[in-house]
Copies of this chain bind each other. A is one copy, B any other.
Amino acid sequence: MTAITTTTSRQGDTQDEAGTRTGKVMAAIRAKVASRALAAGDRLPSIRRFAAAQGVSPSTVVEAYDRLAAEGLIRARRGSGFYVAATVPAPMALAAEPARELAVDPFWVSRQSLDADPAVLKPGCGWLPEDWMPHAALRRALRALARAEPALLADYGSTRGSLALRRLLLGRFAEEGLEAAPAQLLLTGSGTQAIDLICRFLLQPGDTVLVDDPCYFNFQALLRAHQARVVGVPYTPSGPDVTAFETVLASEQPRLYLTNSALHNPTGASLSPQTAHRVLRAAAAHGLTIVEDDIFADFEPEPSPRLAVLDGLERVIRIGSFSKTLSASVRCGYIAARADWIEGLVDLQVATSFGGASPVATELVGQVLAGGGYRKHMEALRRRLSQARRDIAARLAPLGIDPWLMPRGGFYLWCRLPDGLDSTVLARLALADGVVLAPGNVFSVSQSAASFLRINVAQSGDPRVPETLRRVMAAARS
């Protein structure tokens, strides 16, 4: 018995050991791929060489390589050895789920809504329906552009972008009490590109970035592309939870905080003056830089506190764009920051885009913004959205779906589902019915928003939206 037990045990050990040895070799290769010491298409070390390096037998390396090949991480090629598979070429792909279309990750809503068939309903998407946008003004601007000088139609334009549009924006900032110089403003290809450029300028892989929990899902996708460590701070109806914010600044030493202050995405909340002040005080104490994404500014009935204004662009960087209010087809964003940072960002934008916003795009945006029609359009849009928020909330109430708060403006309602329902499950079911939803957890770093849905009221007027919600909720319950 004893002998047998021992033998069994030793056999077990041997198997475990062999397993461990194989596992070690597999882990060593995985680490090389993760650290990019081995990249897609790279040949793996020869079996003999790697066996010697790892102090294991060649058969252990063969076993490890075979298992990794079965997993799809590496491939055997025409008898010439093993290579890293092409489908894991970059950090993005490494982070991606195997079943891409089914993964309800920070890309999910973007993927489903950007490439949706026109027949698909998109209460989960992040923009207004095409017929809520100011086409008449855009068409006028296009006709005017058709008569513009050749240089405007043909040339790259200046590195900081149209001075006329920058002056117009600075005038709007001044109305808020934010005085800034043209050298503090840079036009970019889009609001997302503005944040991306700032991240490239200020972050290194592994840096910690603080976001609201919940926050706009693409912040997470973008920060993942920068290989940043993303840390969330709980969001309250008056801004980030300040006590948690102070604690996390002390413990995590984040390099950046990326937030929306007004009409926060997805909650629709706005920062209170007290929270704004404490956030800035904590940021100063910890040397934190803040990126304030202000793309929903024009949807506010009257201005709420802004970090950029209180701070005077010292440690706060303001970014914005016109994709939500004017056109998402004419892309243009901006960065307002300290002049020395802008100077560095200008070079970085030349290196990576050879210029920023297209002159044709900035001219169209400038034309529309300068026309009196834009203010009128926004006034009408705010009234229409105010009505839509009430209407849609009233239609969702019978389903037991309630807004977390009633926002002062904008097109989002951050809604809590009845107990026991998981919005990711609903989103999968609804997609099969041709309805794109935005499930709570795609916004949540801590994955604590499974019982929430973000509803775009402007995209939810069709009666099929509440009908589909009712149907998928029933299906999820059964």
Footprint of B on A, CB under 8 Å? 35-36, 39-43, 83, 86-87, 89-93, 96, 100, 107, 110-111, 114-115, 118, 127-128, 130-131, 133, 135, 138-140, 142-143, 145-147, 150-160, 189-193, 196, 200-202, 204-205, 207, 218, 221-222, 224-225, 255, 287, 289, 315, 323, 327-331, 338, 340-341, 343-344, 347-348, 350-355, 358-361, 364
Contacts and interface: CB of A to CB of B under 8 A. Distances in A.
A340 B87 CA distance: 6
A41 B286 CA distance: 9
A146 B142 contact: yes
14 contacts: A39-B255, A86-B341, A93-B344, A111-B350, A114-B157, A135-B154, A142-B142, A153-B330, A155-B328, A156-B328, A191-B354, A192-B351, A192-B352, A221-B351
Contacts of A364: 360
A189 B189 contact: yes
A137 B401 CA distance: 53
A160 B111 CA distance: 11
Contact of A358 (B222, B347, B352, B361): B361
B202 A329 contact: no
A255 B350 CA distance: 23
A131 B154 CA distance: 8
Contacts of A159: 110-111, 114-115
Given A41-B287, A192-B353, A348 B92 contact: yes
B156 A130 contact: no
A107 B358 contact: no
A135 B218 CA distance: 37
B196 A39 contact: no
A69 B205 CA distance: 27
B150 A131 contact: yes
A360 B329 contact: yes
Contact of A355 (B86, B107, B114, B255): B114
A150 B130 contact: yes
Given A193-B353, A224-B351, A329 B156 contact: yes
Contact of A138 (B128, B138, B153, B224): B153
A368 to B, nearest CB: 11
Nearest to A113: B156
A72 to B, nearest CB: 12
Contacts of A222: 351-352
Contacts of A146: 139-140, 142-143, 146
Given A90-B200, A340-B86, A155 B130 contact: yes
Nearest to A143: B146
Nearest to A206: B36
Contacts of A201: 89-90, 92
B111 A130 contact: no
Nearest to A107: B347
A322 to B, nearest CB: 11
Q: Most chain-B CB neighbours within 10 Å: which of A130, A140, A143, A155? A: A155
A225 B352 contact: yes
Given A146-B142, A225-B200, A358-B331, A110 B350 contact: yes
Contact of A147 (B139, B152, B192, B289): B139
Nearest to A331: B358
3 residue pairs, one from A and one from B, having the closest CB atoms: A142-B146, A221-B351, A133-B154
A330 B360 contact: yes
A353 B152 contact: no
A107 B91 CA distance: 28
A218 B158 contact: no
A91 to B, nearest CB: 8
Contacts of A189: 189, 193, 331, 353
Contacts of A111: 159, 347, 350
A110 B351 CA distance: 9
A304 B59 CA distance: 49
Nearest to A201: B90
A73 B40 CA distance: 38
A443 to B, nearest CB: 15
B158 A114 contact: yes
B115 A154 contact: no
